[in-house]
């Protein structure tokens, strides 16, 4: 595959309302498939947002519940689907991206390593323990979630593992838009890979937190390929995968690393 068509599904996630969000998610997936997308990416915890106190009742096992429904939806529309959900695993609840293939079903899971203490996420969720990079039809792909973006070591691990693309479902609120944009470009430049970030939009009904959207794709040179505003919607873009090899060949900075 030389060209990867990506749909960014920017949602106004309704807090604590998984049925409402699931209905919207299905609409957006159908739209992405109509646009010819190979993958559609949703925000962090698109099932219920920051309803951490309800996480245990909302969460499902990786092989069942909403995860199974998403896998069936991927098969139906012949598209890969990424976005994080509440996952029940053992005694713990995790913030998890399932790697959902239309052919192979759930191929793996990335569980958010860096929990956002500032919002109390660590009081309700269990942190993940390992990075995840997989070979997908378009190339080696790594996964991260929202606050992980502030920790460059994770993304260097992915570069060392040969990742061409890193996917980041997010829920970044105001006033940190400049941080989000700067960090996405920095990670792309540092690791010479595509960064695909889908951020939620809208307001938290309880505390009024405003999420700014601005889902975006950054190329391996740090150029912004696509950046959207705040409205909900499905935004589709085609990425030239040879761009990764080209940038790494012309400017082989990773080969000069000493530490």
Query: Is residue 73 predicted with pLDDT exceeding 90?
Result: yes
Question: What pLDDT was estimated at residue 258?
Answer: 87
How confident is residue 118, by pLDDT bands cut at 50, 70 and 90? Answer: confident
The residues that are catalytic are: 44, 112, 146
Domains present along the chain, CATH in parentheses = 3-252 (3.60.110.10)
pTM, 2 dp: 0.96
Other CB atoms within a 10 A radius of the CB of residue 78 amount to 11
Bridge-partner residues for 239, per DSSP?
A: 4
How confident is residue 174, by pLDDT bands cut at 50, 70 and 90? Answer: very high
Question: What pLDDT was estimated at residue 58?
Answer: 96
Question: What pLDDT was estimated at residue 259?
Answer: 80
**Mean pLDDT of the chain, nearest integer:** 96
Question: What pLDDT was estimated at residue 34?
Answer: 97
- Write the CB contacts of 64 (distance below 8 Å, at least 6 apart in sequence): none
CA distance 33 to 9: 12
CA distance 116 to 206: 18
CA distance 224 to 219: 6
Q: Strands, E, within the chain: which ranges?
A: 3-10, 39-41, 80-82, 84-89, 92-101, 105-111, 133-136, 139-143, 165-170, 194-199, 201-203, 210-212, 216-218, 224-227, 233-240
CA distance 3 to 6: 10
| 33 alpha carbon, distance to own chain's centre | 18
CA angle 83-158-249, nearest 5°?
120
pLDDT in tens, 88-105: 999 999 999 999 999 999
Least confident among 79-83, 161-165, 202-206: 202-206
- Write the CB contacts of 187 (distance below 8 Å, at least 6 apart in sequence): 149, 152, 155, 166, 195, 218
pLDDT in tens, 182-224: 999 999 999 999 999 999 999 988 888 999 999 999 999 999 9
CA distance 28 to 30: 5
What's the farthest any 2 CA atoms get from each other in the chain? 51
234 touches 31 (CB < 8 A): yes
């Amino acid at each position: 595959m030389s060209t990867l068509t990506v749909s960014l599904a920017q949602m106004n996630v309704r807090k604590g309302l998984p049925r409402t969000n699931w209905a919207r998610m299905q609409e957006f997936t159908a739209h992405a498939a109509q646009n010819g997308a190979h993958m559609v990416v949703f925000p962090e915890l698109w099932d219920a947002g920051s309803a951490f106190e309800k996480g245990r009742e909302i969460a499902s096992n990786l092989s069942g519940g909403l995860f199974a429904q998403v896998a069936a939806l991927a098969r139906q529309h012949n598209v890969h689907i990424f976005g994080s959900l509440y996952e029940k695993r053992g005694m713990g609840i995790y913030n998890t991206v399932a790697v959902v293939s239309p052919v192979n079903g759930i191929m793996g899971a990335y569980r958010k390593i860096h929990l956002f203490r500032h919002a109390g996420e660590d009081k309700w969720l269990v942190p993940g323990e390992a990075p995840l990079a997989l070979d997908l039809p378009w190339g080696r792909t790594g996964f991260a979630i929202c606050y992980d973006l502030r920790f460059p070591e994770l993304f260097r691990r992915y570069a060392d593992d040969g990742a061409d693309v890193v996917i980041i479902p997010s829920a970044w609120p105001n006033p940190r838009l400049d941080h989000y944009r700067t960090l996405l470009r920095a990670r792309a430049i540092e690791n010479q890979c595509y960064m695909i970030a889908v951020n939620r939009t809208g307001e938290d009904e309880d505390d009024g937190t405003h999420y700014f959207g601005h889902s975006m794709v950054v190329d391996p040179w740090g150029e912004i390929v696509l950046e959207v505003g705040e409205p909900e919607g499905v935004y589709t873009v085609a990425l030239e995968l040879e761009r990764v090899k080209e940038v790494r060949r012309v400017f082989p900075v990773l080969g000069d690393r000493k530490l």
